[in-house]
Structure 1
Amino acid sequence: MIDLHLVGIGTGNPDHLTRAAIKALNRADLILLPRKGADKADLADLRREICAEVLEHPGRIVEFDLPRRAGDQPYLGAVADWHDAIAHCWRRAIEAHLPQGGSVALMVWGDPSLYDSSLRIAERLGAAGLPIRTHVVPGITSLQVLTAAHAIPLNRLAAPVTITTGRRLRDEGWPEGAQTLAVMLDAGGAFDVLDPDGVFIWWGAYVGMSEQVLIAGPLADVAHDILDRRATLRAAHGWIMDIYILQRLD
């Protein structure tokens, strides 16, 4: 039997790890650490730094190369194929390094339940016949770190919040009836499709990290600043993770 622990690690800041996350990592017989290529080497480095800081008995870490998602196929089909490929990598590493079973930990950015596919990939392992029990250690999400960095509440008083993706915002526009939007996984500037009049934005890149950059203001005033800063940061680091909240102020 394999006990798979999906451990939320927040935005990569070791100070954001919970005590439960640290315990799960230390109890694991094996920690799998994905590499996402040279252009995102910083992400693997952050995971290594976390291991170096919190593990009491280092040496049970196995790194593997994460497959890339095909960019020339319909999105949902490409994602499904990508998840199949990742599940195959997980299974190959687990069977090679824990042939008799045991506890495996995977560090997940943010929290495994919010716009992350680790749980869906874990389901594929069970469906393929690997005897597995999945456990989740919740983590601090980039959304929480963003609101903390700007020192704002997520919602207006007694009002709902809609969490969506940049892809859906670009394709469908502002969701009907929504007042506050939290937008994740934006490939860049999906807010450009909106009428900016009366909309306020709180934006952050690399939230919670030493590279953190924040911009806030009326969308009509700061949209171009955000796009320019985003392009500069991406060029400097080779990758970018950003998130933002939009709110109608009328």
Structure 2
Amino acid sequence: MSREVALIGIGAGDPDWLTLEAVAAIRALDVLFVVVKEDEYDEPVAFRRDLVARHRGADLPELRVVELADPPRPWRSTPDYPAAVARWRQQRFEQWGEAIAAALAEGETGGFLVWGDPSLYESTLAIVERIAQAAVEPFDVRVIPGISCVLALAARHRIPLNRQGRAVQVSPARLLADGLPDGVDDVVVMLDGRQTFATIDPTGIDIYWGAYLGTPDEILISGPLPEVRDRIVEVRAEAAARKGWMFDTYLLRRHAG
């Protein structure tokens, strides 16, 4: 029997968005690897714990938990962003590789609970695949998809994510400093800590913004960007101050014409 590491997408914040495949994967785990971030927030941590408690009944053996202290994220202040990210990923690669080798016995399954979907805007999959390729004792990698904040955003605003005959771009906010790229009419941005949407030319652009999607604190604002951007900035700041953290996503959509 070989070892396996499952990357389980747990959705964007609503426990009912957990798929049946994800439930089965949680129940099949022998070891749960938990990445503890330096600035981790109580609510997302509690959400993960509640999911495990809900779906790991008394009929199953107690789940072994291995905590992984996440390296600091220096790129928030570094002048060399690519190098900082590369160092951070290397630190994760080394730490996680050692933990998987030590904790996962032959025939066992370990898992990471990944916010949203493991294949979208997430580094966990790339790092674990690299560990698997370099491992002395091989293991399989399994990916269980989850409902991402991108799909949740479109559903909550009751809009199609893509328009007929047009592409959608998922972009880091820093690439939008000069506005929407030429030839791109629909751009999704996640975790824009600098509210780039409020600094670009808003002419002819609508925004669909959402925060804490799927949670009781969900906030939705949409409309022409010139009319609602200041309101989003204000609401976002108030919510972040009140809760101590912010997960938000938005779609910028150029008017058809």
TM-score by length of 2: 0.90
Equivalent residue runs for 1:6-85 within 5 Å: 6-37=7-38, 39-56=40-57, 57=60, 58-71=62-75, 72-73=77-78, 74-85=80-91
> What is the DSSP-based 3-state SS (H/G/I as helix, E as strand, rest coil) of the residue aligned with 1:31?
strand
In the alignment, which of 205, 208, 222 is matched to residue 211 of structure 2? 205
Following TM superposition, the consecutive aligned residue runs of length 4 or more in structure 1 with deviations greater than 3 angstroms are none
Q: Percent identity?
A: 38
Distance 1:137 1:69 in 2: 26
The yes-or-no answer on 1:138 pairing with 2:145 is yes
Match of 1:115 in 2: 121
> What is the DSSP-based 3-state SS (H/G/I as helix, E as strand, rest coil) of the residue aligned with 1:112?
coil
The yes-or-no answer on 1:154 pairing with 2:158 is no
Match of 1:221 in 2: 227
Match of 1:182 in 2: 188
Deviates more, 1:211-220 or 1:172-181: 172-181
In the alignment, which of 172, 175, 192 is matched to residue 165 of structure 1? 172
> What is the DSSP-based 3-state SS (H/G/I as helix, E as strand, rest coil) of the residue aligned with 1:156?
coil
Tell whether the 8 Å contact from 2:92 to 2:127 is kept in structure 1 after alignment. Answer: yes
Distance 1:106 1:44 in 2: 13
Displacement after TM superposition at 1:165 (Å): 1.5
Deviations along 1:95-114, one digit per CA (max 9) or x if unpaired, are: 33224462111111111111
In the alignment, which of 197, 200, 210 is matched to residue 194 of structure 1? 200
In the alignment, which of 241, 249, 254 is matched to residue 235 of structure 1? 241
> What is the DSSP-based 3-state SS (H/G/I as helix, E as strand, rest coil) of the residue aligned with 2:111?
strand
Distance 1:12 1:96, change over 3 A: farther
Distance 2:132 2:210 in 1: 37
Tell whether the 8 Å contact from 1:201 to 1:244 is kept in structure 2 after alignment. Answer: yes
Displacement after TM superposition at 1:47 (Å): 0.7
> What is the DSSP-based 3-state SS (H/G/I as helix, E as strand, rest coil) of the residue aligned with 1:140?
coil
Distance 1:231 1:205 in 2: 11
Displacement after TM superposition at 1:62 (Å): 2.7
What code does the residue aligned with 1:35 have?
A: V
Unaligned runs of 5+ in 1: none
Distance 1:168 1:237 in 2: 28
Give the CA RMSD over aligned residues.
Answer: 1.8
Deviates more, 1:91-100 or 1:22-31: 91-100
Distance 2:236 2:40 in 1: 16
Displacement after TM superposition at 1:234 (Å): 1.4
Distance 2:142 2:63 in 1: 22
TM-score by length of 1: 0.92
Distance 2:28 2:243 in 1: 34
Distance 1:41 1:9 in 2: 17
